[in-house]
Structure 1
Amino acid sequence: MTNTTKTAKSQFTKPSSQKSVDTSTLIDAITEGLLEKKAKDIVLLDVRELTTLADYFIVCHGTSDTQIRALANSVEKQVKDELGENVWQQEGKDSRRWVILDYVNVVVHIFTEEKRNYYGIERMWNDAKITHIEDETT
């Protein structure tokens, strides 16, 4: 198993290919957590060339407050179980309208559909390379 905390702390001394593998593993764990709880319209935005905030944003939405909380909890559990990592910062879990899970290199945005349309993160970062994540088991 890869320990992404070590990667985040030493990211300036590791070769780029090593960081990509670790980030890729983190993205896989996050998307598995989202797919497990049936997140809607999962999108991966590659913002490495556009900002220093993060390397990737993962954006999705849920159909209810209960599902949004379940999605956030599922991501946290999946990342913890697979990689031994905790979320670095989180916001919005109580209101469940827009939950942000910050894993330093990857930031997860879980919205209600209404809030997602209103804030339009995909439109705001329209120069990013966009990858749609689909459940391959269905």
Structure 2
Amino acid sequence: MSYNSLDILNLAAEACDDKRAEDIIALDLAQVSLVADYFLICHGTNERQVQSIAREVKEKMEENNIPVKRLEGFEQARWVLVDLGDVVCHIFHKEERAYYNLERLWGDAQTVSLEVGQE
């Protein structure tokens, strides 16, 4: 099966949700940046959870034959970046997320509604 970037975004969001990531949001960067089509941003409350979320994203991509181009920051688990090409998943520790505030930094980007079970 072939996946487009929106499919990959939703698969990654589902993986984050499966590991109880908090405040999962997606930004549509297609009109504002050449970096990626989408940023997926979420956080965990401790290092172990951050690693668990990142591991789940990586495993879900591998199960679906979607290449993980890069995974950075896993050991420190304060800000893990999972590069899926057109989708970049940012998994923060709660404190780092507040500090870096990517949502504000990329404020020109529209948010994308996700297919995960958010309240």
Q: Same fold (TM over 0.5)?
A: yes
Q: Distance in 2 between matches of 1:85 and 1:134?
A: 19
Instruction: Work out whether residues 42 and 134 of structure 1, in 8 Å CA contact, stay in contact via their aligned partners in 2.
Output: no
Q: In structure 2, which of residues 62, 77, 84 is the aligned counterpart of residue 80 of structure 1?
A: 62
Identity of aligned residues (%): 34
Contact 2:10–2:114, Cα closer than 8 Å, also in 1 = no
Tell me the CA shift for residue 137 of structure 1: 8.1
Give the corresponding residue for 1:29.
11
> Partner amino acid for 2:104?
R
The aligned counterpart of 1:70 is 52
Aligned to 1:11: none
C-alpha displacement at 1:131, in angstroms?
Answer: 3.0
Cα deviation, residue 135, structure 1: 4.1
Alignment of 1:91-102 (within 5 A): 91-102=72-83
Q: How does 1:55-134 map to 2 (within 5 A)?
A: 55-81=37-63, 83-131=64-112, 133=114
Aligned positions, number: 119
CA RMSD of aligned residues (A): 1.7
Q: Is the 8 A contact 2:10 2:115 kept in 1?
A: no
* Superposition deviation, residue 28 in structure 1: 1.7
**Counterpart contact for 1:32–1:78, Cα < 8 Å:** no
Q: Report the TM-score when normalising by structure 1.
A: 0.80
Q: Deviations over 1:79-129 (max 9, x none)?
A: 111x21231011100100000001110000000111001001000001100
**1:54 counterpart residue number:** 36
Q: Which amino acid aligns with 1:55?
A: D
* Distance in structure 2 (CA, Å) of the matches to 1:26 and 1:132: 14
- Partner residue of 1:45? 27
Residue deviations 1:36-57, cap 9 Å, x none? 1000000000011111010100
What secondary structure is seen at the aligned counterpart in 1 of 2:81? Answer: strand
Tell me the secondary structure at the aligned position of residue 28 of structure 1.
helix
Q: Please state whether the residue corresponding to 2:97 is helix, strand or coil.
A: helix
